[in-house]
Amino acid sequence: MFFGIDRPTILAQRNGEVNKLSAIRNTYTAPELGIDKAGKDYVKYVENALKARNPRDFGPTFKVDDAQDPYYNPTKAKVYMAKAQEELKLKDVKFPIELDIATDSAYTKGMKMDQSLKYGLESLFGVGVLKVNVVEMDSDNYDASTYYAETGAQSNYDIGNSTGWGPDYGDPYTFLQTFEPLVGALLPLIGIDPVDEGSDKASATAVGLYDYGKKVKAGNAEYKDVARRFRLFAEAEAQILDDALVLPYMSFGGAFWVSKVVPYTAPRAGIQIQRCRDWRERREPRGTRKGQG
């Protein structure tokens, strides 16, 4: 499925056809969050790590830059799905595989995006192989099944696209620790509780999270050499991308908007920022088309 999700078409439901590429993100960790002494962005370390880990799927021309889709490949997706079918049939798994995606019926654009995901996957693989159920919920039930879920069992879906989480500081670890076994804040969103026992431990082990956690821990223990720290972190991030544990989806923005704020006067940072010093406004709102100032 990783190579079968057509994110530009999905995001066109939110941002329009003109801006369907503008919000695409291709790494789990945000760009510009960490820069080494030579000016190299941490996400480029991730790019290199993916190429080294799996050169067949991430070849020499592969790029993780925003606003383009290096992952969608229907031909490759069908090949992997055929292999998965063979393996699952040996385990007596019945087809079609049915996957639920929770959607807030009050968010029209979100519903259209989920319907687009369903149409794309079912058209690519066929409903005899994969069926996606778009489960419409009111806002309260949707929030309870996604944002407010405190355990894996409460995360009532198979495909999730909401977290309600944001980075806290300017280092890759703020992202990568979210899937560490025992402490990962986002583990419940993939159906795993952060406990070192029972089915949760078995599931975390099966998808490689303990191995991932060791890599993240090694990176976080490196304080002096930033380049080495980034390389270690990138190996961990490349693992969860290559293993399709997560598929980077989108960043906020990427659509036309109007504002009274004078362009380039608002503070900007890779993490949350509250300061409004030097912020200037106009009397009338202006749009972003052609960088109107």
Identify whether 29 is part of a domain. no
Identify whether 269 is part of a domain. yes
Identify whether 272 is part of a domain. yes
pLDDT for res 277: 55
DSSP code of residue 30 = P
Identify whether 35 is part of a domain. no
Q: What is the 3-state secondary structure (H, E, C) of 256-288?
A: CCEEEECCCCCCCCCCCCCCCCCCCEEEEEEEC
Q: Are 220 and 173 in contact (CB under 8 A)?
A: yes
C-alpha dihedral (12, 245, 215, 59), degrees to nearest 10: -60
Identify whether 190 is part of a domain. no
Identify whether 16 is part of a domain. no
Identify whether 241 is part of a domain. no
The number of folded domains in the chain is 1
pTM exceeds 0.85, yes or no: yes
pLDDT tens-digit readout, 229-279: 999 999 999 999 999 999 998 876 555 666 677 776 766 655 555 455 555
State the CB neighbour count (10 A cutoff) for residue 99. 16
Q: Are 53 and 239 in contact (CB under 8 A)?
A: yes
User: Bridge-partner residues for 281, per DSSP?
Assistant: 261
Domain range for 279 is: 258-293
8, 5, 24: which is closest to 16 by C-alpha? 8
Separation of alpha carbons 197 and 188, rounded Å: 15
Identify whether 286 is part of a domain. yes
110, 132, 54: which is closest to 249 by C-alpha? 110
The low-confidence residues of the chain, meaning pLDDT below 70, are: 252-259, 264, 266-293
- Please, what is the end-to-end C-alpha distance for the chain in angstroms? 42
pLDDT tens-digit readout, 62-84: 999 999 999 999 999 999 999 99
